[in-house]
Structure formats: C-alpha cells, structure tokens
Chain A
Amino acid sequence: MIRVDQAHIRNFSIIAHIDHGKSTLADRILQATGAVSEREMRSQVLDSMDLERERGITIKAQAVRVHYTAADGETYQLNLIDTPGHVDFSYEVSRSLAACEGALLVVDASQGIEAQTLANAYLAIEGDLELIPVLNKIDLPAADPDLHGRAVADLVGEDPDRVLRISAKTGQGVDEVLEAIVERVPPPAGDPEAPARALIFDSVYDQYRGVVAFVRVVDGAFAQRDRLRAMQTGLVVEAEEIGVMSPAMTPTGRLGAGESGYLVTGLKSIGDLRVGDTLTVASRPAPEPLPGYREVKPMVFCGLFPVDADDYHGLRDALERLSLNDASLRWEPETSQALGFGFRCGFLGLLHMEIVRERLEREYDLELLATTPNVEYQVTDTAGVRRAVRSPAELPPPTSIELIEEPYVRCTILVPQEGVGAVMGLCQDRRGVFVTMEPIEQRQQIVYDLPLAEIVLDFYDQLKSRTRGYASLDYEIIGYRESPLVKLDVLLAGDTVDALSMIVHRDHAYARGKGLVERLHKTIPRQLFDVPVQAAIGGKILARETVKAKRKDVLAKCYGGDISRKRKLLERQKEGKKRMKQVGSVEVPQEAFLSVLRIGDDGRNGS
C-alpha cells in the first residue's frame, strides 16, 4: 500500500446529466491508473447491481482509490467518489460532494448543458468545490465542442480554454483529465491532529460483514478496533476493519485526515449508520459534528399487495431484506378490503419506487399489485390538529377537514425555444405556478412551482413526449402549500374499492373520475352480472359506466375426443383468473389497477 502525505491526496467526484458518460469516464480512470486490468474491466465497474447496469444509472455511491504518477513525477492518491445519477437521490449526491474538494463536470459535447448538469453544478458550487469542466463524446459527429464549451465555461466561471475535450469511449483526453485533477483540485485541508471526524457518504449492507460505511475522514485518524460514535444517532460500534476500495475492498488498518475509505461495523441494519452522519472516535470525541446532516424522508407512497395472498409473508421478508440495504425505504402493514393484506411503502421518488418494486418481483419472485402512488399530505382537522396522511384511506371525512396541504416542488426545465409552449401548457395543466424563464445557451430555462403529486404520476413521460425528448428536468422540494383537495372514490358494483381511491384537486376531480371510469370499463372483462363502475366524491357520483354482463360464454362443441381438451381449457381459463383479484363480487384484472396509474391526459380538460 503506497503511503502519501495529505498534500498528495485528491478527493473528487464526477457529476453529469444522465447518459452524458459519467460511468464510462470512471471506468477509463480506473483503467488508465492500472486499478483494474483489462481482463477485469467490465463496463461500469462501479455500478455493482444488475439493475443499475440495466438501467445505466448509478444508485449507490462508492469511493475508489487509485494512484497516479503525474507529469511532475510525484505519485498522488486519487479518491473517486461516485455519485448517484438521479434526482430521487439528490441528498446522497450532496453528501458525496461534501466528501470532495473537486468535481469533474461532464457534459455531452453534442447535447450541451441539461437540467441535471445545472442542478449538480449548483450543488458543487454551493459546496465550494473546484469544478473541472469536461466535454465528453467529442468523437461523435454531432459534437459541437466550441459552442457547448463556451456555455460550460460560462456556467462554472472558467476560461473556455480550460474546458477539457475528451472521449471517454475512445480514451482520448483521459490523461489530461488526470493531470487536471492533480493540478486544479486542492488537497484536503483537515487537521490531522484534531479529534477524528469522518462523513458517512454512503453505506451498504453485506450479508457476511454487516453494515459497511463509506467515509471521508476530515480531521484526525481512525484505526482498526477503534470504538466509533455516530454523532447524530449516538450509536457506538467497533471498527472491525478499515480499508480502501481499489476497487476491491483492501484493508489498510488506518484512515487519516483527507482520505476516503470504508469501515466494516458488523451492524445488522443500515439505518444505524445514516448517510450524512459524522463518525468520531469514542475515546476522544470531536466537539461538533460536520454540517449538513438531515434525515432522508420518503416523498412518495404506495400500497404494495401480493397478487397471491399466500405471498404476504414472503413480501414482508423481502421488504425486511431490502431495508437492510436501503435506509430510505419505509414500510408498514396496510389492510385493504379490496386487495387484502399488504404494505404501505414510502420511497424517495418514483424511480426509487420502481426500482424497489422491480427488485421485489425479480429477486424475490413476487407478483405484486401497486396502488396509485401518492405524496404525504398534511391535514388539519376542525379541532385544529395537523397530522400527516400518507394514504387516501387515512383521509378523514370532508366535514371534519379544516384544510389540506400538499408538498410543492420547484421544477427547473431546460427546453429548446420551440418546446416552451408545450412545457408551459403541461405545467399549467398540472397546477403549476410560473416562477421565471430565462435563456441559457440555446435554450430556455423555465422554472415552475408544482405540486409534487402532479409530478409523481406521469409528468416526466409527458414532458418527454411533448417536447420530443428535448426537455430535461430537475426539481427540489420547497415545502407545503394549502390546496383544495378531495378524495375520489371508485365503486364497483356499488362497493367502494379502497385501493383505487385517490386524492385529487377539486377542479380535476370530474375529469379524473371520468377518465378513471372509462379506463376501468375498458379493462374489466364482462362478468356474469352487470358491473356498474362509478367515480364519486363523498356520496356524489361524478361518472358512471356499466360493464355489461356476458351474453354468451360456452364451449362450442364437446364430444368424446374433446373432453380432456375442454377440461384443460377450463383449467387454463382458471389459471388466467388467478391473476385477477376478487373484489367483492367482481373479478378485476391487474391491468385495471395499472390503468389507474396511466390516467394521463385523456382524462384531463384542455389537452
């Protein structure tokens, strides 16, 4: 293990809009510094989960140490701290950046600045990081490095000549990137003699070793067998092993000021060591934790129910196991009259929800029904008591509600001039409040305040389709605002289906209810009896359709040679019915529940 002094350490991360080449550049850096051999090289070494690889996005941040001998003949320790690539995980991004002194801001040379480029750049600038602008993909025919180089230089306040031009794919310019890291990123400034402090910027659960925390040591030093104290949660635990990722886990016995690495704790729950918390040594604790800690709160909630009621315990076990490695996943038992026993789960955002659901179905072989996602409302009742409501079922009757507040986000959308009308139309439809618009590069930056609930349905898809993919989006939570919201119920054959209820804006209730009823009408198959499908607020029916009873359902002919075949046909039909939920007297296919999610613009006025 090469030892270097603090002046020869560089901690940096790579930030970029999705698909601008962050992971490819990370791979190249590992290769160029010999951290991984050609043989070991897999694409996106740092993304360890299959799902990440498939979706091409980074979920868990990690730190990798490499050594680089620069043009000045000195050997430097470079710690690459990877950051998650999605807005759902922006808090993790900010903690990863807090562990660095510099960042590579990677921008696609054919596409230029996008919304997450801006968001990440602002985060880095706020954190006082040295930003090294990098134009990637200059080998593409559509690359326009002069145009986009000027814009990126403007954004970070650099001279255009200082914008690096590279192709992570071909390896062109990667050496210049390494030199720039050494030259421009300042060495860490912590006090090696002060009481030890380290920032936890990520943690993972390993089934053999327990919770592994990824840390950046700011002051002092940590040694194996030290007793560690988490300063926010107060938890004390022994450092069973200390080391660095290079990129495999390599024990070093010690981590000093300025260094990044990992700590093995043997803890059983990842919630015990939270991202953003500060670790110190219990025998000589630091007086103050590092700034910036906050508890990550789920923003989006939905009910998850097993299609087969026998899978309930399997689902609980799977959630428990996922929670070991995902401190932001929340869940509690929920009972639905329509769907039986399941769980109300809380997620950081829609992507997080989709990832968890996909993992449950894929890794744990569960077939699930998910209810319409909703946000967390604050409801003040007529007695003046304010409380959180995370499910439409928890909403008190209208007469005892004084007011309802819902979370708002500030959305920043970058779009070419010709897409401005479409974006503003969409934002208006979704109850947006215009904030500003200003040109950035060749495009307009449009800022709207929008209810989070309007974003979690299908806002991103709509944005992409209405701007033919040219708009990019970033958003941040800005707090709660009062809204005239109501609970929209769905009745099948006269009975309310609790799992299909949703909280909507009063002015959207009619259109939403009508669209909902039409979709259900299309997806619920004809049954032995007429099935009225209704949407209602309180007792008031807003819309109604009827699924007409079957008028013919027979097996055409059945003689001696057909009997087995017909019985097997009945068995196959029965198998098909198993994928339906029996809701009261009505058989409802999964698609009916899913169709509620897709209630997009045909259910809205004016679009």
Chain B
Amino acid sequence: MSGVRHLYVHLPFCGSRCGYCAFVVETGSLAMRDAYADALVAELEREGERLGELETVYLGGGTPTLMRPRRLRRLLDAVRPRLAPGAEVSIEANPETVDRRALAELRAMGVTRLSVGVQSFQPHLLAALDRAATPDQARDVVGCARAAGFEDVSIDLIFGIPGQTPDDLEADLGEAVALAPDHVSWYELELKPGSALARRGLPALDEDEGADAYRRIVAGLEEAGYRWYETANFARPGRECRHSLAYWGAADYLGVGIGAVSTVAGRRWRNRPGLAAYVAALARQEAPPRTVEPLDEDDLRRERWMLGLRLAGGLDLAWAGPPDRPEALGRLSAAGLLESGEGGVALTREGRFVQNAILHELMEYA
C-alpha cells in the first residue's frame, strides 16, 4: 500500500517561552486546546487520503503533554486506525509536566516512545535557558517512564549554553549515562533570531570550545555504548528514532497543526502559525492557511545530500543522485574526511565533525 507513512502532529501549547526557543508555540491560549484538538482531527481527516499505513507518529511541541490525556486520547483515537503493526508513536515531554500516572496513561493510549526535554542537569544552566524543571524532576521522569512501561526513552540535552564550563559538561554527560536512556539527542545551542537569548546579545561560543565539547560528548556517549548514528543523535543498537530516520532518508511526511511542514511527492507546504485562523478554517471545513514552497529536482537532490550525510551510514548514490562537484570526492577521500565505495558515500568520523564544510565542497547550494 502506498501513501505517506510518517505523521507529525504539532502541539504548540507551552506554559512560557524558553529563552532559546524560536518555535511556533502558544503561551496563554490554553482555553483554545479543545478547539485545537478538533481542528487537528479535522485536518488529519482532510489529508487522510494521502496517508498509507503509518509507521511512525511524532507528537511534538510546544509541550504536547499540556494537551492533557483527555485531548491526546481523542487525537490518538483518530490516528490509531491508520497505524501499521509495530508503529513507533513518540511524544515529547517536559519533566515538570508529567508524573507516573500521566505517563502510564500515555503508554496505555498507545504511545511507545518518550522524548524528555532535559537540556541540562545543572541548575544554573537550566536557569540560563529559562527551563522550568528542576534537575531532580529530570532524573525522576526517566525512572517513571520505565515504571510506566516505556521501553524507548530518549533525553534531549544542549551544549554551548552561556556559562557552561567543561566541568558542567562532564557532569551532564555523567548524569545522562547514569540515567541509562535508550536514546540521546544532544544539540549545540543555536541562538536563533527571534529567541530571547539572541536578543540578550550573548557572545557566540568560541569555535574551539564548541569543538571540544562536541567531540567530548561523542566520545563519552560512545564509551557508554551509544552509537553516534546521526550528527546530534545517539542510540543503543536498534533504538534509533525511526521517525527522525524518515526525515534524514528524505521520506515523505505529513505534518498537521500550526506551523507544521509536510513534504509529499516533491511538494512542500507549511501551515501558517496563526492559531485562531487555523482553528477557524478547519471549523469551516476548509484547508488551513498554508505557504507552499516550490522545490525543483536540484533542491531535492541537494537536500538528500544534506540529510544523508548526517547519518553514520552515509547515503546511497543511486538514491541521492550525483554531487554537483564529483571531483571533490577524491580530494575529500584522500584527506580522510569521506569514504566512498559500493555505490555509497559516508563521512569518516573526522568528516562528520565538519559535515557542513564538506557539503559546500561537494554541492552548489544556490
């Protein structure tokens, strides 16, 4: 059966906006949650004929758990008939918004994978990021998830936080490993335009300090038995995030909810971020306001390279298409940054640390 096999659902509500956040989030509109849940189900139905059996579903935010179990259940009830056997159903959660009971409810309604937004275990760094959770809440939530029956638990961490010392990083690394999650996502802090941190005008992290931190994280997690399977993601064998792998494999995906992006059969669109207009359009049984982005075959080919080289296993040339500058392959290979053979190209360990620069050697982004 053909059709889109990956679904993203955006749940934008948050108690407050964190300093580093530039996502589409809604604070102070909690009264809209019922109407929003209705609208999501309506959008899903409108788009139903695009969907095949769903192999992965990802409930992201915002803070999805702020939807409360009642609304999440309504949403998952709408999704469930479309799930393939053994489908991965992930949800993001902040430590302070879930307890053991809530987690058990999520598990019971079919959520298989929990991604906990920890960011750091150090109080001063959590404060720098405006995070509401305490380190203890972060530590507890993994245990609670286990007790609630989650076999796939991931934690998100951030490095490059203003004020973060190498000792702070060691402490986070130690805590992360001690919690024994199945999966870790560890990002460098991006000072995105529009975020409060960017407006505070903090100095960018020194390139060497950032490189030291990144390399230490990779080494530390690998020692603890995690595989560095994607630029910023680590997993115990077999516990990779299948939904994310779909993105990096340039598979089609449908996104519903405000700000959500879909890419289906070479076409990409993004729902506009306005909550009221979204809810109103779907209440009228119309498509929500969207922006369509034209993509040509070159854009898609360059995206496949951008995405595929993020993966430890690299990409398949027959699938990705040729690089714009094939002559660079030999040079990069001779420099020990890239390996190619058997129709595939993958970055070496050293190459993965400078993936962006390698992309510019191989491709003409224009």
- A interface residues (Cβ-Cβ under 8 A, vs B): 526-529, 549-561, 563-564, 566-567, 570-571, 573-574, 577
CB A565 to nearest CB in B, in angstroms, measures 9
B335 contacts A529, C-beta separation under 8 Å: yes
Q: Does B94 contact A (CB under 8 A)?
A: no
CB B355 to nearest CB in A, in angstroms, measures 5
Q: Mark the stretch among B106-114, B134-142, B299-307 that contacts chain A.
A: B299-307
Partner of B310, one of A549, A553, A558, A570: A558
CA of A577 to CA of B356, assembled, Å:
13
Partner of A550, one of B255, B335, B354: B354
Lowest 9 A-B CB distances belong to which pairs? A551-B211, A552-B211, A570-B365, A553-B356, A574-B365, A553-B354, A571-B365, A561-B261, A553-B357
**Closest partner residue, chain A, to B208 (CB atom):** A551
19 A-B residue pairings within 8 Å (CB atoms): A527-B357, A528-B337, A529-B335, A551-B215, A552-B211, A552-B353, A554-B231, A554-B352, A555-B306, A557-B185, A558-B231, A558-B248, A558-B307, A560-B263, A563-B307, A564-B268, A564-B293, A570-B365, A571-B366
Q: Does B358 contact A (CB under 8 A)?
A: yes
**Closest partner residue, chain B, to A578 (CB atom):** B366
B261 contacts A556, C-beta separation under 8 Å: no
Enumerate chain B residues within 8 angstroms of A552, measured Cβ to Cβ. 207, 210-211, 214-215, 353-354
CA of A550 to CA of B360, assembled, Å:
13
**Closest partner residue, chain B, to A563 (CB atom):** B303
Partner of B364, one of A561, A563, A574: A574
A528-B303 CB under 8 A given contacts A570-B365, A574-B360, A574-B366: no
Enumerate chain A residues within 8 angstroms of B260, measured Cβ to Cβ. 561
CA of A607 to CA of B263, assembled, Å:
63
Enumerate chain B residues within 8 angstroms of A554, measured Cβ to Cβ. 188, 214, 231-232, 352-356
Enumerate chain B residues within 8 angstroms of A529, measured Cβ to Cβ. 335
**Closest partner residue, chain B, to A548 (CB atom):** B208
Partner of A528, one of B8, B261, B357: B357
Residues of chain B at interface, number, CB under 8 A? 49
B261 contacts A564, C-beta separation under 8 Å: yes
CA of A268 to CA of B292, assembled, Å:
56
Q: How many A-B residue pairs have CB under 8 A?
A: 109
Q: Does B187 contact A (CB under 8 A)?
A: yes
Interface on chain A toward B: helix, strand, loop, or mixed SS? Answer: loop
Enumerate chain A residues within 8 angstroms of B75, measured Cβ to Cβ. none
A567 contacts B247, C-beta separation under 8 Å: no
CA of A570 to CA of B324, assembled, Å:
14
CA of A48 to CA of B310, assembled, Å:
59
Enumerate chain B residues within 8 angstroms of A573, measured Cβ to Cβ. 356, 360, 365
**Closest partner residue, chain B, to A577 (CB atom):** B360
**0/1 per residue, B328-366, Cβ < 8 Å to A?**
000010010100000000000000111111111101111
Q: Does B226 contact A (CB under 8 A)?
A: no
Which residues of chain B from 208 to 252 have any CB-CB distance to chain A below 8 Å in the complex? 208, 210-211, 214-215, 231-232, 244, 247-248
A561-B259 CB under 8 A given contacts A528-B354, A551-B215, A553-B356: yes
A567 contacts B337, C-beta separation under 8 Å: no
Question: Which residue, of B232, B247, B365, has the highest number of chain A Cβ atoms within 10 A?
Answer: B365
CA of A558 to CA of B355, assembled, Å:
13
Enumerate chain B residues within 8 angstroms of A559, measured Cβ to Cβ. 244, 247
**0/1 per residue, B262-290, Cβ < 8 Å to A?**
01000010100000000000000000000
CB A589 to nearest CB in B, in angstroms, measures 15
B247 contacts A566, C-beta separation under 8 Å: no
**0/1 per residue, B286-328, Cβ < 8 Å to A?**
0000000100000100110011001000000000000000000
CA of A228 to CA of B187, assembled, Å:
80
Q: Does B105 contact A (CB under 8 A)?
A: no
**Closest partner residue, chain B, to A552 (CB atom):** B211
Enumerate chain A residues within 8 angstroms of B360, measured Cβ to Cβ. 570, 573-574, 577
Question: Which residue, of B190, B215, B261, B355, has the highest number of chain A Cβ atoms within 10 A?
Answer: B261
Enumerate chain A residues within 8 angstroms of B244, measured Cβ to Cβ. 559
CB B133 to nearest CB in A, in angstroms, measures 20
A566-B306 CB under 8 A given contacts A552-B214, A556-B187, A571-B366: yes
CA of A529 to CA of B268, assembled, Å:
37
B303 contacts A567, C-beta separation under 8 Å: yes
A557-B187 CB under 8 A given contacts A528-B354, A564-B268: yes
CA of A559 to CA of B259, assembled, Å:
13
Enumerate chain A residues within 8 angstroms of B263, measured Cβ to Cβ. 560, 563
Q: Does B121 contact A (CB under 8 A)?
A: no
Partner of B247, one of A549, A555, A563, A574: A563
Question: Which residue, of A552, A558, A574, has the highest number of chain B Cβ atoms within 10 A?
Answer: A552
**Closest partner residue, chain B, to A566 (CB atom):** B306
Q: Does B253 contact A (CB under 8 A)?
A: yes
Enumerate chain A residues within 8 angstroms of B232, measured Cβ to Cβ. 554, 556-557
CA of A554 to CA of B354, assembled, Å:
6
**Closest partner residue, chain A, to B246 (CB atom):** A560
